[in-house]
Amino acid sequence: MVLSTQQANAEYAYTSAKAMCVMEAGSKRVLYNKNENQELAMASTTKIMTAITAIENCVDLDKVFEISPKAVGISGTSLYLRKGEKFCLRDLLYGLMLISGNDASVAIGEYVGGNTKNFVQMMNDMAKKIGANNTHFDNTHGLDSDNHYTTAYDLALITSYAMQNYTFKEIVSTQNKKIVNSDGKTRYLKNKNKLLTGLEGCCGVKTGFTNDAGRCLVTSCERDGMTIVCVVLNCGPMFEESKELIERTFSEYHLIDLTSGYAFNDVINVTEGRQQKVKIGTYGKYLYPLKTEELSKVSYVYDIDEIIEAPVDKGSEVGEVKIFIDNDLHFSEKIYTMESVRRNSIFDKIKKLIEMW
């Protein structure tokens, strides 16, 4: 069980971005930051929340529905939807995330939420659930609004959450997609995220631009079992600087299974049992990103019974192990017996006495 959200101090890294956050997606550890908690406009990176809210609140992504007049003619980037046109939600999600269709975002919100106002409230509710407490959505697309903002840290949290969803991850990692409406008209979509082809392990996520927000980019990248989320807000060279930050991260940090460092005896003594010892162990795994020089800050505390009395059932709790990093408690789990031990019967005791005699 992860018992602490305490993080080692994040390191400042230069970027021309107004705000930046590089986070390891599993542990949520912030590795590099700059103004990570400053509330800023986020343009179309909003659609990360639009997409995951829709995916998690729709039973059938392939059900076809009709586009309403309210979703037609939305300003900004567009899928050029027409009134009465019919699409399934899955195809509109591709239009949303690959070419950033603002009209697709409204159509999605209307279909899933009943209307966009209800859907935006669903987005805000999910933000609170995820822990993005300095975020507020005022629309589904990210066009500038005084009441529409996030932080680099919150957006990294939201993205780390969304990337756990297979459908979301599949959509945002797609480079090219053909979608067809119910009348057979085809649209060809090409992902605007240049890093999908220009960065090893890149698997998404979303670009964005408005006058207030500037150029924004959220990137997810996987290598050697470690997933990094990089957020830059209001950053001119967003592709170049995101790539530099991610390459630096993978060169300096490695995802370590800290449970592999356990150092306790794998057996304890048993009294009154048909065997004198029982095997013990744990089931958990705790992965955490660390630099090589940070490994010396990891310590373990064990509290284990020295002896137990039979009968012993497999899975009996016999102790606990705690993992500290720089004196902060990060992880704790129980230690259990890995086998059963039956109690000696009267015949076993008589036999033992005879053998001793």
- The answer to whether residues 46 and 148 touch, using CB atoms and an 8 Å cutoff, is yes
Q: For position 6, what pLDDT does the model report?
A: 44
Task: Determine which one of 18, 27, 34, 47 is catalytic.
Answer: 47
Distinct helix (H) and strand (E) counts, the chain:
9, 18
- The answer to whether residues 333 and 281 touch, using CB atoms and an 8 Å cutoff, is no
Q: Which DSSP symbol is given to 278?
A: E
Residue 100 catalytic?
Answer: yes
Question: Euclidean distance between the first and final Cα of the chain, in Å?
Answer: 50
Which structure tokens are listed for 17?
């971005």
Give CA angle at 205 (212, 27), nearest 5°: 105
Distance CA 285, CA 281 (A): 12
Residue 178 catalytic?
Answer: no
- The answer to whether residues 161 and 172 touch, using CB atoms and an 8 Å cutoff, is no
Q: For position 283, what pLDDT does the model report?
A: 96
- The answer to whether residues 239 and 192 touch, using CB atoms and an 8 Å cutoff, is no
Q: For position 10, what pLDDT does the model report?
A: 77
Burial of residue 235 (number of CB atoms within 10 Å: 0-12, 13-18, 19+)? buried
Nearest 10 degrees: CA dihedral of 176, 181, 185, 188?
-10
Q: H or E element: which one contains 186?
A: strand 186-190
**pLDDT 10s digits, 273-323:** 999 999 999 999 999 999 999 999 999 999 999 999 999 999 999 999 999
Task: Determine which one of 18, 27, 34, 44 is catalytic.
Answer: 44
Domains, the chain, ranges and CATH? Answer: 15-252 (3.40.710.10), 258-356 (2.60.410.10)
- The answer to whether residues 214 and 208 touch, using CB atoms and an 8 Å cutoff, is no
Regarding pTM above 0.85, the answer is: yes
Residue 316 catalytic?
Answer: no
Which structure tokens are listed for 213?
């927000």
Q: For position 4, what pLDDT does the model report?
A: 46
Low-confidence residues in the chain, pLDDT < 70: 2-9, 345-357
Task: Determine which one of 27, 34, 100, 173 is catalytic.
Answer: 100
